[in-house]
Structure 1
């Protein structure tokens, strides 16, 4: 009976979010179409390859991907050090040191604490959108949000609001996919 209930809940949960898997080439074409021909700082083929690689690693091209991240602000309670024999490590997390929880949404795994609003977590909501908009089968709003984040950094540089957080996201792309070149997208035919 438990197996049936678990199966039923997973099917119902999956049907609530209408996501899809996009192909590497579909994403590349969408990024190309998003570019402004008059912007010399547009997405270079090299950066495009790195972004597509990031999407592959972060969401497996799944538009409905949601990743929940829990980070404890108190390292002692994370079990990250020592042998576990200390009474300090065995004690519960001290009051006032909450667990930091945030989620990443959609193809690009965008944070609810920075670019969108989930209605529960505080967020500057840079893209002025609900996080639910990032997990449907329509990728145009995801692309526009990524474009807005990039534009914010390009226009304002170090003065950009939330510069450090935005920089971390882009640096993660380079950390994961720094070795990807335009050859990564060679099997995609340009329209």
Structure 2
């Protein structure tokens, strides 16, 4: 089977949103999972899809320049791996992300909407490099084995239901990498306890 590489996007529900605010002069951070491994979802009623562990490994190891966007709009850049404001990593659960939001009207509006629970989905844009189809089941099952990731987005409509994200505000977060790591661990502990 010949693979035709074309850009695709997927969205996820991030309803397990926790908001923490330490003061009014802060940097906001969104942290969570842009993709969950081995989580089957129906794509438009046409087929089901699963993302295999390791699907993002090559993109991450090649240090691609991935951006965090709002609603898949390249006019609304929230962070970028090249600048260090977006970090991505794979773990046993999926594609984890952490984006330090800029002090822009788009980011402030997004933070407010997420804190209220009005926006609670996440998505990612990619090109499939390796996939496997199983037509012996109905609907057909597509297993994504490797992708070229070009963006993750906070969106209002998901394709997948399984992700997590936290909105955290801390004015010193962007200045201290150790504080960021400690904060991520604290968030994960809070999520496990809830």
TM-score (norm 2): 0.24
**Rg (Cα) greater in structure:** 1
TM-score (norm 1): 0.24
Larger relative contact order (C-alpha < 8 A, sep ≥ 6)?
A: 2
Higher helix share: 1
